[in-house]
Structure 1
Amino acid sequence: MDPTDFLQDGTVSVSDATYAVCRTDHTHPGAFATIQDETETTVVVEQDTVETVDAHEIESGWTRLTFEMDLPFELVGFLAAVTSALAEVDVSVFVISTYSTDHVFVKEEELAAAVLQLEELGCHVTD
C-alpha cells in the first residue's frame, strides 16, 4: 500500500478548538486524549479548560488536524509522508494515533503553512 494513495483526495478536518498539551500525574475527565506510560501522563485538553488541569507543564496553542480516513494497520509510511511534508515548511507537530485514524496537532501560527502543504499532497482540508 502506498500512503500517498490515502492522502490523494483524502479529507483532513481542522478543529475549531485550540488545545493544550499538559504533563500531569493523572488522567483528566473530558480530555480529548490521555496518554499514560510508566513515567508520565499527558492529557490533551481544549485550551479554555486548561486551568482545570493540575499540570506540571503546559504547551498551549495547538490546532487539531484529523485525517478523516480509515487507515489500515498494515499501511507503512503514512505519518512519515505527512510529517516529512510538514517538516519541509518548518511546521512542528504533535501526533496522536487512534485505532483507525491519526490526529496531527500544529501550532496555531503554523496552521496556514500546514494546510497549504497538505493540499499540495492532494488532501481536501475542511473546517
Structure 2
Amino acid sequence: MDPAEFLDGGAVSVSAETYAVCRTDRDHPAAFATVREADETTVVVEQDDLDAVEAGDAERDWKRLTFEMDLPFELVGFLAAVATALAEAEVSVFVVSSYATDHVFVKEGDLPAAVRRLEALGCAVSD
C-alpha cells in the first residue's frame, strides 16, 4: 500500500478546539488522549480544561488535524510521509494514533503552513 493513495483526496479535519499537552501523574476524565508510562502520564486536554489538570508541565496552543479515514495496520510510511512534509515546512508535530486513524497536533501559529503542506499532498482539509 502506498501512503499517497490515502493522502490524495483524503479528508483531514481541523479541530475547533485548542489543546494542551500535559505531563501529570494521573488521568483526566475529559482528556482527548492519555498515555501512561512507568514514570509519567501525558494527557491531551482542551486548553479551556487545563486548570482542572494537575500538570507539572504543559505545552499549550495545539490544534488537532484528524485524518478522517480508516488507516490499515499494514499501511507503511503514512505518518512518515506526513511528518516529513510538515518538517520540510518547519512545522513541529505531536502525534496520537487511535486504532483506525491518526491525529497530528500542530502549534496554532503553524496551522496555515501545515494546511498548505497537507493540501500539497492532495488532502482535502476542512474546519
Return the TM-score normalized by structure 2: 0.99
Q: What's the C-alpha RMSD, in Å, of the aligned pairs?
A: 0.4
Post-superposition shift, 1:5? Answer: 0.4
Counterpart of 1:112 in structure 2 is 112
Q: Which amino acid aligns with 2:14?
A: V
Return the TM-score normalized by structure 1: 0.99
Runs of 4+ in 1 over 2 A off after TM superposition: none
Counterpart of 1:125 in structure 2 is 125
Percent identity over paired residues: 68
What is the alpha-carbon distance in structure 1 between the residues aligned to residue 23 and residue 121 of structure 2? 33
- Relative to structure 2, which stretch is displaced further, 91-100 or 37-46? 37-46
What is the alpha-carbon distance in structure 2 between the residues aligned to residue 15 and residue 28 of structure 1? 20
Post-superposition shift, 1:114? Answer: 0.1
1:8 and 2:8 are equivalent in the alignment: yes
Counterpart of 1:94 in structure 2 is 94
Post-superposition shift, 1:39? Answer: 1.9
Unaligned runs of 5+ in 2: none
What is the alpha-carbon distance in structure 1 between the residues aligned to residue 60 and residue 6 of structure 2? 30
Post-superposition shift, 1:40? Answer: 1.1
Counterpart of 1:43 in structure 2 is 43
Post-superposition shift, 1:41? Answer: 0.3
